[in-house]
Structure 1
C-alpha cells in the first residue's frame, strides 16, 4: 500500500521582541489537518503545497492518506482531522446517520467542490461488457457510502441487480480497489484517473464513464465540521482560495511540464512517466476537469441525493441538496477579489 505524508512548512515570519529588548519567537500554529484518498485527484493539493499557495494564505497543511472512507469520516467527525477531501455522498451519509463507521456526523457540511468524481467502471480483461459481470464479484469501498451507489446504478441501468446477478465485496479506497482488480480478486470496480488508464494499459476494459450516463454528479468536496469551521473561518477561506489558485495554475498550458514533475513526485515510485500525461488529459483537458474557483455543482449534489434516496436506508428521509453545502465560506473567500 502506498501511503505518504506531506507537510508544508509554516512560513510565518519570526516576531522579534518588544520592550526590554528580549527576543520573542512566535510559536508556529498547528498545521491544518487534511485527510484524503490517495490518487491523482489530489493534484491541486500537491501544487498548492509545492508552489507555496497554502503558505501564501499563512497555512501550514498536513495531508494524511486514508485507507478507506470509514477511517476518514470517523477521524473527521471525532476531530482528528479538520478537513476531509471526500465524496459528497459521504457528507450526506454521515450527516443523516447512514455512515458505515457507526458514528453520526450531524455537524458535517461541504464548503467547496473539487471535481465530478472522474468515475469509470473498469473490468477484468475477459469482461468486455456488462453481461460478462453476471455472477461475478465487484469491489466497493463501503456499500453504504462513497461511490458504491454509482456502481449499483450503472449495473441496474444495464439489467443487473445486486445479489441477484452479482455480488460486492469491500476492498477499501481507490488504490486498494485498483490493486485488487489487478490481482483478479474482483471482476470490476469503480476507478478514477489515472488508475483507469493504468488498468487499461494492462489489458483491463473500461465499460463506462459515470457522468456520460448520470449527467451532473458531485464527486470530491472539502468537508468540515461546522463548529470547527465557524471557529476557524480564515483557515477555511484560505484553503479554498489556495485550492482554486492551484487549479488555475494547473489549467495553464505553460505549466504542464512542471505540473507533471509535481504529479510524479507525489505518486508511487513505480508510476510510469506517461501516467502524468494520461492524468493531465483525463483531469484537466476534458469536460470533467477540476471545478474552477472550487465551485460546487448543486445539480450534481442533487444526483448524489437521488442515488442515496434510491439505494440507501429504506424509508429514510433526506433533505434538499443545498442543506449539505454551506456557501458562506466560499463566498467570503472570493469577496472583493
Structure 2
C-alpha cells in the first residue's frame, strides 16, 4: 500500500511538473527576428530545426525582410524584436529617440566581398580618378571607404558609379567600368576576364563586414533574459553546424531559401564567410578590444559623419550590450 501511494505521489508530481513546463512554454512571448536572404543567417534555422530555441525557452519567429529600410524602421516601431544587419548599417538608423544595442555577431566576410579591377590598377591608391562601381549606402560603400581611408583617400577621389553589386560586377566584365566592389559570383567572373584581376577582398579585413544582432534599448531592458537565451541557442547552432556541415547546409539552404535554396550554392557561398562561435564573440564583443567591434563602429561612425549620412553623439562602447555574450 505504501509503495502504491508512493507511486501515486510521484505520478502526481510528474504530472504537475509536466503541466508547469507546458504552461511555461505556452506562456513564452514570441520573439520575432527579421533578416534578409544571406548565408550568414543560416544557423538561425539550425537553432529552430534542432530545437535549440525551444531548449532555451524561446518561441522564435524568423521573418525575411529584404530591405533594410523596412527592417530597421520595423525594429524601431516595435513590429519586430530583433533585426540582423551589418554593423555599419545600424548607425544609419540610430536616433536618440530610438537608441539601439548590438547584441552579438553572427558572421563576417572572409573573401566573400572584394574589388575587381583592371590589370593596370595595382593598389587601392591606383583607383584615384577611376570609374568605380558599387552600391551607394551599402556595405560595399563602407568596405571601399575604409580601404580608401587606409590609402589616404576619400570617395571624392574616385569617379563613383552607383549600381547594385550584381550590375557592378557585370559592368566590369563588360569593360564599362575600371573597377567594381561586388561579391560572388562576380569576383570570380571579374578576375577570370583577360583585363581583370582581384585587387583586394575581405580576407584582408576580418571583422569589418560583420553581421550583428541588434535590438532597441527598450526591448533589451524588457527582455534581456531572452536575448541571453538567444545567444546561447546561436552558439549551440554553430557548434552543431561544425559537427554536421553537410546536413547543416541542407537545413540552412531550406530555411534561408531564395537564391540560396540549393545546398550546393549555399555551401559555395558559405566558404566566403566565417560564422561567429562563442569564443569569437567573446573576443569580438569585448569593449576593451579595439580591434573588435569597437574598431568597426569607430570606422563606420567617422566615415558616416564625414559623408553627412548621420551624426551620433553616443560613444561606440555605449552601443554594445557586451554582457549578452558573457
TM-score normalised by the chain length of structure 2: 0.71
Work out the CA distance in 2 between the residues paired with 1:61 and 1:259: 19
Choose between structure 1 and 2: higher helix proportion: 2
Which residue, 233, 253, 258 being the options, matches 1:268? 258
Name the CA shift for 1:39/1:270 in 2 (closer, same or farther; >3 Å).
Answer: closer
Name the CA shift for 1:165/1:122 in 2 (closer, same or farther; >3 Å).
Answer: closer
Name the CA shift for 1:211/1:269 in 2 (closer, same or farther; >3 Å).
Answer: closer
Work out the CA distance in 2 between the residues paired with 1:304 and 1:270: 28
Is the contact made by 1:305 and 1:318 (CA closer than 8 Å) also made in structure 2? no
Which residue, 189, 199, 202 being the options, matches 2:186? 199
Work out the CA distance in 2 between the residues paired with 1:139 and 1:155: 14
Q: CA deviation at 1:304?
A: 1.9
Q: How many residues align?
A: 286
Residue matched to 2:226: 235
Is the contact made by 1:85 and 1:221 (CA closer than 8 Å) also made in structure 2? yes
Name the CA shift for 1:269/1:113 in 2 (closer, same or farther; >3 Å).
Answer: closer
Work out the CA distance in 1 between the residues paired with 2:82 and 2:301: 26
Name the CA shift for 1:85/1:236 in 2 (closer, same or farther; >3 Å).
Answer: same
Structure 1 residues without counterparts, runs of 5 or longer: 1-14, 18-23, 98-103, 172-176, 332-337
Root-mean-square deviation over aligned CA pairs: 3.8
Which residue, 112, 120, 126 being the options, matches 2:104? 112
Residue matched to 1:245: 236
Name the CA shift for 1:89/1:135 in 2 (closer, same or farther; >3 Å).
Answer: same
With 118-127 and 303-312 compared, the bigger mean Cα shift is at: 118-127
Partner SS for 2:34: strand
Partner SS for 1:114: strand
Which protein shows a greater Rg?
2
Per-residue CA shift, 1:88-115, capped at 9, x if unaligned?
22333433x4xxxxxx554210122223
2:159 aligned with 1:166, yes or no? yes
Name the CA shift for 1:199/1:218 in 2 (closer, same or farther; >3 Å).
Answer: closer
Name the CA shift for 1:127/1:268 in 2 (closer, same or farther; >3 Å).
Answer: farther
Work out the CA distance in 2 between the residues paired with 1:39 and 1:127: 33
